[in-house]
Structure 1
Amino acid sequence: MIRMNKIRGSGWSGGGMPMRRSRMSAALFTLGMTCAAGAHAQSLETQAAQGAAAPTENTVINLINLLVKRGVLTQQNANDLISEARSEAAQARAANAARAPAAAVVNAPTQPGDVAVPYVPQVVRNQIRDEVKQEVMAQAKAENWAQPNALPDWISRIKLDGDLRVRDEYHFYGSRNANNVTNFAAINQAGGFDINPNTNTTQLPTQNTTQNRNNLERYRARLGVTALLSEQLTAGLQLASGNDNGPVSTTATAGGGFGKKNIWLNKVYFAYTPTPWANVIAGRFDNPFFASDLLFSNDLEMDGIASNFHYALPANQDVMLFGTLGVFPIQYTAENFPSNSTSKVGSDTKWMFGAQFGADWKINAQNRLKGAIAYYDFQNMRGTLSSPCALYLGATSCSTDNEAPTFMQGGNSLIALRNIVQNPNLSPGLTPQPQVFGLAYNYRLFDIKAQWDTVIADRFKLRLDGEFVRNLAYDENKAFGAASLPVNNYEATTVNASRSDYRSGPNGFLAKATIGEPEPKTKGQWNFSVAYKYLQPDATLDAFTDPDFHLGGTNARGYILAAAYAVARDTWFTARYLSAKEVYGPPVSIDVLQLELNARF
């Protein structure tokens, strides 16, 4: 017999063979045991022929019964094996009886825990081997590790990710709100509006500032694919929901007679990492800058090319320097503009050039400070008055119509773009004035952003955020010295009664405190935050700001309260209350309540 010492921690106990493992583990061990017995089979047969002890019948039967119990053998196979084992044992006893008066166990167990393994017939070993092989192969195929090359290689280099959000939203308007806030975005989208009260008695397009909106069910869905093309090159794309192709939101509103919702191409990019400390990305991608929603909506994706770098200081590895450079086309001039004229307008692309440099300092295990300064130069954004435009002769556009912003939310100072020629056949003041509007200023933003993470009472995480922005291109003298005078963002006329009526400003800031986990991921994690935001009308472009605070745009100030709780892994409930009102102009107070369930995968 073969003696096997007790193996500590392997699942063996005493002198028997109970194993606290799965059926497959028991079968694999039995196979190994029988192989070991087979390696000594010839030696055992020789010992038996020379007077050694015969195989113990009960041990063989116990082994076979154990295999039945573990599911390796069927009961019928077990009965056949037991019968064969008994027959061989009887033959062995008869042979030994004829050659020796007594027999002793070879290598009998001498220590507690030793296991005596009898001779296992070849047929038993073959049966166990075949049964285990079939079961192992079945499990290998089911778990896809038997054929590692069965699937194409590209599948292993593809990653899917996405997120879902369902929201119930409420809009509450102040009882003293003005009801004549002009909707300049609607005017531009319609191709102009006749602002001459002598020729058009229709009310100017206005924004809703008085009627509450309750139980607006809204949702967002995004699904992305990232492909690893090489160790240095990746490609990605993302599809997203959304009511329209506006840049600041991928949220869709329910309703519409249960009609299907739109899906948009939200990302498409290549990312190249030539070194561990730098990368380049081109296409349409996430905002590459360290910024809050003071300037850029959290859902904003940017078109263009950007490069990021990060570098740890050799003298102090806890200090990481980082930076971002980027060039982003915002709006191209139409190639065939004006379409009804032989004189075409040249290229005058609107660009954003961005540069940011900062440092991330891990002070100790509980404190981390991150800060950066940035400069965002929005070029060719300011509108200009067109050349004399004789619309009464049949022209459908004027020379600077293409300078009207593609997208506006509201708040920036504007100017009328069309220099409309009076019709000499009509009395003075009776020529229609269908106007479109452009921005009164360029925007060259100086931005400072800081973030401090710490722990209070050795228990609660605390994050403090602060940001300040100033538009360095803001100059009222230049605005009022132009041929077309600036329009207050809330005015219903194109020319102010006097400069003293005009109010604007170039500054904005954000202060925010968050206690708890900044991004809840595990069930039970939570956070609570309070923030205050202030944006003068021309502190930044109104097109790209948070669409929820004051329902988008600039010329807004107020606070934000928010709480989040993770109800499962990567699933969390959020409640937000945003209360904002105007900085300048007639009263426009807008409170927004959002209750939502989010999930990411």
Structure 2
Amino acid sequence: MHRSRISVAVFALGVTCAAGAQAQSLETQAAAGTAAPTESTVINLINLLVKQGVLTKASANSLVAQAQAEAAQAKAASNSRPAPSGAAIVNAPTQPGDVAVPYVPQVVRDQIRDQVKQEVVAQAKAENWAQPNTFPEWVSRIKIDGDVRVRDEFHFYSPRNATGQTNFAAINANGPFDFNPNTNNTLPPTLNTTQNRNNLERYRARLGVTATLSEEFTAGIQLASGNDNGPVSTTSTAGGGFAKKSIWLNKVYIAYQPTAWLNITAGRFDNPFFSSDLLFSNDLEMDGLAANFRHALPADPDVTLFGTLGVFPIQYTADTFPSNSLSKGSTDTKWMFGGQVGAEWKINTQNRVKGAIAYYDFQNMRGTLSSPCALYLGQTSCSTDNEAPAFMQGGNTLIALRNIVQNPNLAPGLTPDPQLFGLAFNYRLFDAKLQWDTVVADRVKLRLDGEYVRNLAYDENKAFSAATLPVNNFDSNSANVTRSDFRSGPNGYMAKATIGEPDPKTKGQWNFTIAYKYLQPDATLDAFNDPDFHLGGTNARGYILGAAYAVARDTWLSARYLSAKEVYGPPVSIDVLQLELNARF
């Protein structure tokens, strides 16, 4: 803005100083125009400088008066002297309608130049916008971004829901629970399945900094809110006696782009795959290393190929495990290896199709029964305790991890049975996703999304090959599960339609969405997908309705209604309503 002011001032000064030299040209233009000719080009130019804010009104009046006086003196002096023989009168009219432009004396031009210079410099110093190197060079390479969301949330449970559903995630998070009713008469942690939760005030805040280090390297960090360090949500719940809320390190990465079509990122960063919250929550950040490529076909630039390769550590074995043993456990890191290839085709200005297939291999995720564990001799852990998932939501089939040795000094059935739980299956996922963007009636955008996932490692025989029976996250008593009772599955899919602007940014933009999800218990890991649909995890099916409207730039209202129930097992129907105000910068 300040540079444009300087340009206007310099431009006006240059034109003013050149007025005398261009007088004859101005006369000809005035004769050819339809508007009334001006009385004084100098006066018009000075008035223009006043309008632009370069000269004050008082300074302009002084210059106009001086210019008129000097022009009158010059004209009087010219009339008092006879013109030399054959000499032409300066600025004399040659045709009807021509206007004589008075000569602009050099002193007037010098005064205008000095006055403009003084005004511009004074304003530049006062507003501090014309001093070079005011900020260090690195400031121009820093970008700050963020977003804020305020939400009112409601959870509605069907009165017909089953009660007493064991919360296995809470057991693993808080330590083993003794399931022997002869030694522990308390109930295990259970899920709420019947009592509604209204007006849950929630909010999310994220603030990130991205630094351009060179043409090839960038680095970034992001801080985010969150109730805990769980991977799928950065939402905090109000309350707690107005206590301050936690801030977590949500991103930290370095990205290297050696060419225009390849980008390599290491650290903790956004999900690099083309996917939906059927598999990965929208808030999920991934730890590891990923390489993304994107390149248009030379023969057809409307077709772009893209792909991603990545390796991500999910859970490490603690260096000190078992803590009270001289013999430590071997490395048993849980990994995710991911690969995806796809293409995007810009059919025309109104139609674009994007599709991809992916393979996600989760290594060392399946739990195994421990070696005989004699807790009665003072052991505080068993050999496979570290195979309990670090985070779960619900839905995956589980097995008990501890092979507890009976205390021979006690009567049969009186040995405590404190258990942890691990996954009954491995997860090797095949995923296919398709997205079509089009325009309806040449005015309304329409986006159609579809995704299908299958766990290629699903095998019921492996689940029942362990010494303990498998349990499901919505089963209350593992002792009652038989092979004929067991119900699970490896498949899941999602279909979604969005009418309007998919991502409202400008005031007045809007959208409506409708989606349907179906996710069998072992189609994917329950730890990483959408935490809102059925309140997170797998073994869920149902629909989602949504709407959004931008009330200002980068500020929008939204509403979602998620209705879901179980695929298999005891009835658990959960509806979620979310009303939000969002802003980003």
What's the TM-score once normalised by structure 2's chain length? 0.89
Equivalent in the alignment of 1:266 = 250
Equivalent in the alignment of 2:199 = 215
With over 3 angstroms needed to count, the CA separation of the structure-2 counterparts of 1:62 and 1:554, relative to structure 1, is: closer
Q: Distance in 2 between matches of 1:65 and 1:311?
A: 56
Once structures 1 and 2 are overlaid, which stretch shifts more, 568-577 or 96-105?
Answer: 96-105
Q: How does 1:443-592 map to 2 (within 5 A)?
A: 443-592=427-576
Q: Structure 1 unaligned segments of length 5 or more: list them.
A: 1-21, 42-56
Q: How does 1:56-455 map to 2 (within 5 A)?
A: 72=55, 75=58, 78=61, 82=65, 86=69, 89-90=72-73, 93=76, 97=80, 105-110=89-94, 116-140=100-124, 146-455=130-439
Instruction: Classify the secondary structure of the residue corresponding to 1:419.
Output: coil
Q: Distance in 2 between matches of 1:309 and 1:59?
A: 62
Letter in 2 for 1:195: F
Once structures 1 and 2 are overlaid, which stretch shifts more, 430-439 or 67-76?
Answer: 67-76
Equivalent in the alignment of 1:36 = 18
Report deviation, 1:396.
Answer: 1.4
Q: Distance in 2 between matches of 1:66 and 1:420?
A: 93
Report deviation, 1:546.
Answer: 0.1
Report deviation, 1:459.
Answer: 2.3
Instruction: Classify the secondary structure of the residue corresponding to 1:397.
Output: coil
8 Å Cα contact 2:63-2:108 kept in structure 1: no
Instruction: Classify the secondary structure of the residue corresponding to 1:542.
Output: coil
Report deviation, 1:503.
Answer: 1.3
Q: Distance in 2 between matches of 1:355 and 1:303?
A: 15
With over 3 angstroms needed to count, the CA separation of the structure-2 counterparts of 1:361 and 1:60, relative to structure 1, is: closer
Report deviation, 1:83.
Answer: 6.7
Report deviation, 1:207.
Answer: 0.7
Q: Distance in 2 between matches of 1:472 and 1:399?
A: 28
Report deviation, 1:121.
Answer: 4.3
8 Å Cα contact 1:195-1:493 kept in structure 2: no
Report deviation, 1:105.
Answer: 4.8
Q: Over residues 160-215 of structure 1, what are the superposed CA-to-partner deviations in whole Å (9 max), with x where a residue is unaligned?
A: 11111111110000010111110011111111111000010011100111110111
Instruction: Classify the secondary structure of the residue corresponding to 2:527.
Output: helix
Once structures 1 and 2 are overlaid, which stretch shifts more, 479-488 or 28-37?
Answer: 28-37
Report deviation, 1:25.
Answer: 7.9
With over 3 angstroms needed to count, the CA separation of the structure-2 counterparts of 1:29 and 1:216, relative to structure 1, is: same
Instruction: Classify the secondary structure of the residue corresponding to 2:155.
Output: strand
Letter in 1 for 2:487: R
Report deviation, 1:87.
Answer: 7.6
Q: Distance in 1 between matches of 2:474 and 2:47?
A: 90
Equivalent in the alignment of 1:9 = none
Equivalent in the alignment of 1:7 = none
Between Structure 1 and Structure 2, whose CA radius of gyration is higher? 1
Report deviation, 1:388.
Answer: 1.4
Report deviation, 1:135.
Answer: 2.4
Report deviation, 1:591.
Answer: 0.1
8 Å Cα contact 2:209-2:220 kept in structure 1: yes
With over 3 angstroms needed to count, the CA separation of the structure-2 counterparts of 1:360 and 1:227, relative to structure 1, is: same
Q: Over residues 460-487 of structure 1, what are the superposed CA-to-partner deviations in whole Å (9 max), with x where a residue is unaligned?
A: 2221111111111111111111223211
Q: Over residues 569-595 of structure 1, what are the superposed CA-to-partner deviations in whole Å (9 max), with x where a residue is unaligned?
A: 222211110000011111100000011
8 Å Cα contact 1:496-1:502 kept in structure 2: no
With over 3 angstroms needed to count, the CA separation of the structure-2 counterparts of 1:377 and 1:140, relative to structure 1, is: same
Q: Distance in 2 between matches of 1:410 and 1:172?
A: 18
Q: Distance in 1 between matches of 2:78 and 2:441?
A: 83
Q: Distance in 2 between matches of 1:471 and 1:534?
A: 14
Report deviation, 1:112.
Answer: 8.4
Q: Distance in 2 between matches of 1:474 and 1:61?
A: 88
Letter in 2 for 1:221: A
Report deviation, 1:123.
Answer: 4.2
8 Å Cα contact 1:73-1:131 kept in structure 2: no
Q: Distance in 1 between matches of 2:102 and 2:565?
A: 89
Report deviation, 1:543.
Answer: 0.3
8 Å Cα contact 1:226-1:236 kept in structure 2: yes
Q: Structure 2 unaligned segments of length 5 or more: list them.
A: 24-38
With over 3 angstroms needed to count, the CA separation of the structure-2 counterparts of 1:66 and 1:576, relative to structure 1, is: closer
8 Å Cα contact 1:480-1:486 kept in structure 2: yes
Q: Distance in 2 between matches of 1:66 and 1:455?
A: 48
Q: Over residues 328-383 of structure 1, what are the superposed CA-to-partner deviations in whole Å (9 max), with x where a residue is unaligned?
A: 00000001111111110011000000011111122222222211111100000011
Q: How does 1:10-29 map to 2 (within 5 A)?
A: 28=10
Q: Over residues 143-168 of structure 1, what are the superposed CA-to-partner deviations in whole Å (9 max), with x where a residue is unaligned?
A: 77634433222111111111111111
Letter in 2 for 1:36: A
8 Å Cα contact 2:303-2:343 kept in structure 1: yes
8 Å Cα contact 1:524-1:567 kept in structure 2: yes
8 Å Cα contact 1:520-1:565 kept in structure 2: yes
Q: Over residues 423-454 of structure 1, what are the superposed CA-to-partner deviations in whole Å (9 max), with x where a residue is unaligned?
A: 12211111111111111111001111111122
Q: Distance in 1 between matches of 2:443 and 2:231?
A: 39
Q: Over residues 229-249 of structure 1, what are the superposed CA-to-partner deviations in whole Å (9 max), with x where a residue is unaligned?
A: 111111111111111110000
8 Å Cα contact 1:85-1:121 kept in structure 2: no
Letter in 2 for 1:185: A
With over 3 angstroms needed to count, the CA separation of the structure-2 counterparts of 1:585 and 1:89, relative to structure 1, is: same
With over 3 angstroms needed to count, the CA separation of the structure-2 counterparts of 1:322 and 1:108, relative to structure 1, is: same
Letter in 1 for 2:435: Q
Q: Distance in 2 between matches of 1:554 and 1:581?
A: 10
8 Å Cα contact 1:371-1:449 kept in structure 2: yes
Equivalent in the alignment of 1:10 = none
With over 3 angstroms needed to count, the CA separation of the structure-2 counterparts of 1:128 and 1:212, relative to structure 1, is: same
Identity in percent: 78
8 Å Cα contact 1:414-1:437 kept in structure 2: yes
Instruction: Classify the secondary structure of the residue corresponding to 1:125.
Output: helix
Report deviation, 1:28.
Answer: 4.5
Report deviation, 1:35.
Answer: 2.5
Report deviation, 1:260.
Answer: 1.2
With over 3 angstroms needed to count, the CA separation of the structure-2 counterparts of 1:65 and 1:430, relative to structure 1, is: closer
8 Å Cα contact 1:332-1:348 kept in structure 2: yes
Q: Over residues 18-72 of structure 1, what are the superposed CA-to-partner deviations in whole Å (9 max), with x where a residue is unaligned?
A: xxxx99888655532443367799xxxxxxxxxxxxxxx9998898788778772
Report deviation, 1:393.
Answer: 1.9
With over 3 angstroms needed to count, the CA separation of the structure-2 counterparts of 1:71 and 1:213, relative to structure 1, is: same
Letter in 2 for 1:487: V
